[in-house]
A and B are shown apart, each in its own frame.
Chain A
Amino acid sequence: MGERLSIKTDRDEQQLFNRRAIVAAVIVLFALGGIGFRLYFLQVEKYDFYTELSKQNYQKRIPIAPKRGQIYDRNGVLLADNHAQYVLTVVRDSVPDQNNDGKKNWADMEIMLNRLSKLVALSEKDLRIFNQQIRRRSRYQATPLKENMTEQEVAMFAVNKSRFPGVDLDRQMQRYYPWGQVASHVIGYVGRIDEQDMKNLNKDEYEGTTYIGKLGVEGAHEKRLHGKAGYTLEEVDAHGRQQDTLSRQEAVGGEDLILGLDIKLQIRAENLLRGERGAIVAIDPNNGEVLALASVPTFDPNLFVDGISHKDYIELRDHPDRPLYNRALQGTYPPGSTVKPMIAMAGLFEKVVWPGKSVYDPGFFQIPGHKHRYRCWKKVGHGSVNMDVAIAQSCDTYFYDLAYRMGIDKFNTYMKTFGFGSRTGIDLTSESAGLMPSADWKQTRHKQVWYPGDTVNIGIGQGYWLATPLQLAHAVATVAMKGKRIKPHVLRGYRLAKDKPEQLLVPEIVEQVKSNSPKDWELVKQGMVNVVHASYGTAKRINQGLQYHMAGKTGTAQVFGIAQNARYDATRLDKRLHDHALFVGFAPAEAPKIAVAVIVENGGGGSATAAPLARKIMDAYLLGKYEDDPVEDGKPADAPAPVNQRD
């Protein structure tokens, strides 16, 4: 060994060591105290923060889509339903070794799919999409293999399920429209949620939802129909494997909607228009409920539910009759003579005309000091006409004169109170506002001043004036109610669940149409009754066997301008250039229950083509008569009159 140390040195060394040990002990305390502070920071200060992160780690919210509300007509007939749809899914991790090489890999997946395809038809497209998706997902996640399994395939697979570990049937709800093409423009349809939808919706609520209402009631009442999403909170491990259900919040199904629509009446209306292009709108004037809203041709909404094929869509979109176009809401037409009762009310209100006032009709109207003749439809003229005759016979000259003397400003203001030129506010998507022209509008739109001649044309519902069939039905319903305007609506009521009572919506009353006296309304209504019932009425042909009093007004909207001295000859015109046939009316005249607007595109005269349809709708609704009268003498009792008979 080395040199021996002296006692003194050893004691010094011992003291030196002791000091060093004490310093070390203090350093240990401070250093570990530092760790303690760090732990305090993590576990106490930032506890909430890390708890949140830990939940994000292991908690996975799996949404439960609510059951979409069903849609019924006013009599409880189901219009939109949910059908169970079966989807075949595969969890990759659960597909066992198939070729006995001791490994689970894609080769095993191929073999399994091959075996499976002998039971269930797997299209090339199914497999392509599946193979793309499954490679992107976690091996523990279910990937859809085939949607819309047929009942036979479901049964076939169910029996053999044990032979296919990892493959499962997933039940999903899919929208189904039992009536197919009927009322598709009202009911609308649901479709897969697209990027556009994503922008506007609450992502939490729609996390588990596949479909969203796109059009019609489905679109407009999406909020009520969708319901409230639920979720289960699942515990997952680091690999995304589900361990346990932590909590569960059940979804609340959407509201069942009850429409004012009467599906029988709707079918009748669509059948009446079959082969034509046109629209029929029927409203209950007492509450604004839409009883029927037909736009023909229609389409099958079921095509859209699971994504319409490109071919089908092109076919619908490019069809010359434009079935996707909702004529009742989006179609704007010159209202023609159908608005004469409302114009008469304007004249009475502004005291331009009065009950006893007569106008002499030589067959045309001329603005004082001008040569241009505004022709009455009756070439020889009606002679001296008062308001009753003017409405019943649809005398153009009377209304040219009325409008001319009233002026566009007053005319425009009053007509707007009937709802012309603005959306009725019906609870459906894509309604058009039509157009109620004014001097300002013309200046802005066409950079031209308003000529008195423009007012004259407006006086018979022509010129720039455009209205939707719904606006016409709404306006005539307002006449029926003597100025009481009620917002038209499709939704009559709802119920929160099957076992819950039905809640009816309160009709919304909008701005009233003013009159100087209730008698004015009676006067105009009488004129409309005479349209149908008087021997001189333009629609007298439809009063045969009529069991109630009906008020109406025919109309013809020009599609094609005719030169000053030329004559309209339907036989020489292309069908697409034929006039639109229009009719508005309500019944019973004394206590109106239904107001109707009919338009048949290029249908010719209103009295001949449109009026009979209106009567059939009213017969159906008021008398329950859904069939045509038996054919007599080889021709229906209310067969159309010859087309050259104008109104």
Chain B
Amino acid sequence: MITSLLPSSWIRAFQRIDLVLLAVLSLLIFLGLITLYSAVDTEMAVVYRQAINFVLGLLSLLVFSQIQSKTLKQFAIWLYGIGIILLILVLLFGEIKKGAQRWLYVGIDVQPAEIMKLAVPMMVAYFFANKNLPPRLLDIGIALVLIVVPVLLIMKQPDLGTSLLIAVSGLFVIYFAGISWWLIAGAIVLVAVGARLMFEYGMHDYQRQRIMTLLDPEADLQGAGYHIHQSKIAIGSGGFYGKDWLNGDQSHLDFLPERHTDFIFAVFGEEFGFVGNLILLGLYIIIIWRGLYLATQGEDTFARLLAGSLSLTFFIYLLVNTGMVSGILPVVGVPLPLVSFGGTSIVTLMIAFGIIMGMKKRKRIYQAED
């Protein structure tokens, strides 16, 4: 039928795309764009730029969905190595913007940390792909080193949010590799106790103060708590059905800061209400579940571990952002995935979804056509 009118490589490309995931992603992107349109007071220029980001993102998705597990696996170590080198270069020669050294100028500004969002889970997955699973304690130790090195480099920039997310993406690979539940529980206890001891004995007063502000920002409504207070007002006053699109007074009257980037969820919540929020969360759940499902359909261990980790990392982005904007998690600069304005993040995420799609087992019928 129609497929016969297209070149066979095109047909293959489309067939490798997971239509369910693409459809839900598209719906989310659409919701994101109309929310952005409202958040920037109907300034179309910004919306166009974001739309271009999505076009780039979709093209990337298309390209990366073509890459097979075994091909990508070969890139893992290179990408990881180059990433580490770039991170070191950033610390030595990077540009300083907004008080942090994150950017490297190579014709265009690049953020090597962004590369690591993919490189770290790829590297750890690659490492485990060659091991017997569930992993031995030693292998877990090695994996942890692979994670910690880039994470420390990024922390040094400093970019706490990104470094923690990258750490999480690596840890998810260890989780999917089958690390024992006892070890997980032990690690959690260890981290909790360690953090407590660190807070009590290993910190200066000003550092403790900073942590306190992070955990309870609303103690200082004029300063650190202003964002979160205004964001809760915006969401709360949205009520059940919301104030309708373009009618969120908190956002439009400038009370809500960072409203087209990190706090766009509050704009959405104010204008579309609880109902809108449930729909949005529902879309995200479908995306994450679909990602996890595709991971179970992975070509090989590397494919499964990588796709599973990328899906859960996406979930963590969402959780950290919505938790922050609704005032139950500390304020860390994490955008709402695929909705917040910002090109790099969108392209990285779309590449990740491309990878997830590409990791799926190739069906025999396509191989026969080859």
| A interface, CB within 8 angstroms of B | 1-3, 5, 9-10, 12-14, 16-18, 20-21, 24-25, 28-29, 31-32, 35-36, 38-40, 42-44, 46-47, 49-51, 53-54, 57-58, 235-239, 243
Q: B237 an interface residue at 8 Å Cβ cutoff?
A: yes
Q: Is B328's CB under 8 angstroms from A16's CB?
A: no
Given A47-B237, A57-B253: A14 touches B304 (CB 8 Å cut-off): yes
CB A70 to nearest CB in B, in angstroms, measures: 41
| 24 pairs, A vs B, C-beta closer than 8 Å | A10-B301, A16-B178, A17-B295, A20-B176, A21-B308, A24-B311, A28-B288, A28-B289, A28-B312, A32-B318, A36-B278, A38-B327, A38-B328, A43-B235, A43-B239, A43-B274, A50-B236, A51-B236, A51-B239, A54-B234, A57-B249, A57-B250, A237-B255, A238-B255
Given A40-B274, A43-B273: A24 touches B292 (CB 8 Å cut-off): yes
Given A43-B273, A44-B274: A17 touches B239 (CB 8 Å cut-off): no
> Measured between alpha carbons, how far is A40 from B274 in the docked complex, in Å?
7
Given contacts A21-B308, A32-B284, 20 further A-B contacts (CB under 8 A): A5-B301, A17-B296, A31-B319, A32-B318, A38-B323, A39-B274, A40-B274, A42-B327, A43-B277, A50-B235, A51-B237, A53-B233, A53-B236, A54-B236, A57-B230, A57-B253, A57-B255, A58-B255, A237-B253, A238-B255
Q: Is B326's CB under 8 angstroms from A42's CB?
A: yes
Residue of B nearest to A51 (CB): B237
> Measured between alpha carbons, how far is A54 from B256 in the docked complex, in Å?
11
Q: B30 an interface residue at 8 Å Cβ cutoff?
A: no
Q: B121 an interface residue at 8 Å Cβ cutoff?
A: no
Contact with A along B289-321 (1 / 0, CB 8 A): 100110110101100110010011001001100
Q: Count how many pairs of residues, one from A and one from B, have CB atoms less than 8 Å apart in the complex.
A: 147
Complex A-B, nearest 4 residue pairs according to Cβ-Cβ distance, in ascending order: A50-B236, A2-B130, A54-B237, A238-B254
> Measured between alpha carbons, how far is A10 from B318 in the docked complex, in Å?
32
> Measured between alpha carbons, how far is A360 from B330 in the docked complex, in Å?
105
CB A262 to nearest CB in B, in angstroms, measures: 58
> Measured between alpha carbons, how far is A18 from B176 in the docked complex, in Å?
9
Residues of A within 8 A of B129 (CB): 2
Given A21-B292, A25-B292: A39 touches B308 (CB 8 Å cut-off): no
Residues of A within 8 A of B288 (CB): 25, 28
CB B218 to nearest CB in A, in angstroms, measures: 12
Contact among A18, A29, A44, A57 for B285, CB-based, below 8 A: A29
Q: Is A32's CB under 8 angstroms from B281's CB?
A: yes
Residue of A nearest to B234 (CB): A54
> Measured between alpha carbons, how far is A28 from B295 in the docked complex, in Å?
15
Given A28-B288, A42-B232, A238-B254: A17 touches B237 (CB 8 Å cut-off): no
Q: Is B240's CB under 8 angstroms from A47's CB?
A: yes
CB A471 to nearest CB in B, in angstroms, measures: 61
> Measured between alpha carbons, how far is A619 from B293 in the docked complex, in Å?
111
Residue of A nearest to B134 (CB): A16
CB A28 to nearest CB in B, in angstroms, measures: 5
Residues of B within 8 A of A57 (CB): 230, 233, 249-250, 253, 255
Residues of A within 8 A of B322 (CB): 32, 35
> Measured between alpha carbons, how far is A12 from B304 in the docked complex, in Å?
13
Residues of A within 8 A of B230 (CB): 57
Residues of B within 8 A of A239 (CB): 254
